[in-house]
Amino acid sequence: MIVPSKRLTVLFMAESADFAPWGDDVVAAIGDKHDLRIFDQSLPLVPQFDGVDVVIDEGGSVGTREMADAAEGQARLWQILGTGLDHFDMDYWRGKGIPVANCPGPFSSVALAECAMMFILMLTRKYAETQSNLHNQIMYHPVGIELEKLKLGIIGFGASGMDLARRARSFGMSILAIDIRDVSDDEIEEFGVEFVGKPDAMDTVISQSDILSLHLHLNSETHHIIDNQKFGLMKPSAYLINVARGALVDEVALEQALQSGQIAGAGLDAFGQEPPDITSAIFSMSNVVTTPHIAGATDGTSRKRAEAAANNVDRIASGLEALYRVD
């Protein structure tokens, strides 16, 4: 634990007026070690950055170029509480000379893996059908399939992908993995990975998987990485899980695949447009389970990210470089 050698001025910027739990956890983590300000959207912007040493940006989507201009020359760190950077104008911040750090995958990997596992269970045990049966007093009617011996394809074998593999293995599932890095022999052994490959082997994994789960960052190479061609490779009995970024999936192709029976169903936490258009046909399908982009938003994730941000503030106050720099 670092004991800061001086007090800093920290500005916290929330994504919305709904301050809890992220804001509450940041306040608790910063404590009385530093002077914490809360950004107020109703007040003039520039004066709120006067004398600010560290900016804590709730999700990376709050910061604007005008804010970077106001922070230039004084902010020694722009700390993002989230992981993804697809919505953050990194080049502009680099041009302003403002160091940027995020909270990488391990801080939310448990929450993401648990949500993916929830989707898998709800879909394979046909939760919507069981609720309909219950309300119609249809009792004892067998529905759903067991997970044991099913193949789980994980696209992106980083922190959340490995945490999902750990949980899926306890259900007796076989693990197929794709990642751009070299997955180590120790990881293959720990998770009992049956097959591991680079992106050029993705079609093989997609065609063999009973469940396909996405755990990728969004960038120009992964945008719509699951499209009509990829849906054509999936088994008609297979399910798609997305707890990463909505734009990884071509949602037009997804809707067509679901309506035509090309795939069996989907569990979706993220969408190409957020908030999504809930009048879309996807949201009325009984074989689709959705949540409002909260797979990684649990009390544990919020607390761990706030503590990581506070630790970086202490490091800056002690003359040390911030951890998890992404600039």
> Is-catalytic flag, 245?
yes
Q: DSSP letters of 40-97?
A: -TTS-TGGGGTT-SEEEESSSSS--HHHHHHHTTT-SEEEESSS--TTS-HHHHHHTT
Burial class (CB in 10 A: 0-12, 13-18, 19+), 1: exposed
The residues near 39 (Cβ < 8 Å, ≥ 6 apart) are: 11, 12, 13, 14, 48, 62
Residue 61's CB: how many other CB atoms inside 10 A? 16
* Length of the chain measured in residues: 327
Q: Pick the catalytic residue: 66, 146, 190, 274?
A: 274
Smallest CA-to-CA distance from 197 within 210, 213, 209, 181 is with: 181
Catalytic site residue 293? Answer: yes
Among candidates 43, 104, 101, 92, which has minimal Cα distance to 68? 92
**135 an active-site residue?**
no
Spatial CA neighbour of 54 closest among 80, 32, 28: 80
Spot the catalytic one: 58, 114, 215, 245: 245
**Which tokens go with 127?**
């939760």
When computed from its CA atoms, the radius of gyration of the chain, rounded to whole angstroms, is 22
CA distance 215 to 241: 9
CA distance 203 to 234: 9
Strand 211-214 versus strand 239-242 pairing type: parallel
Task: List active site positions.
Answer: 245, 274, 293
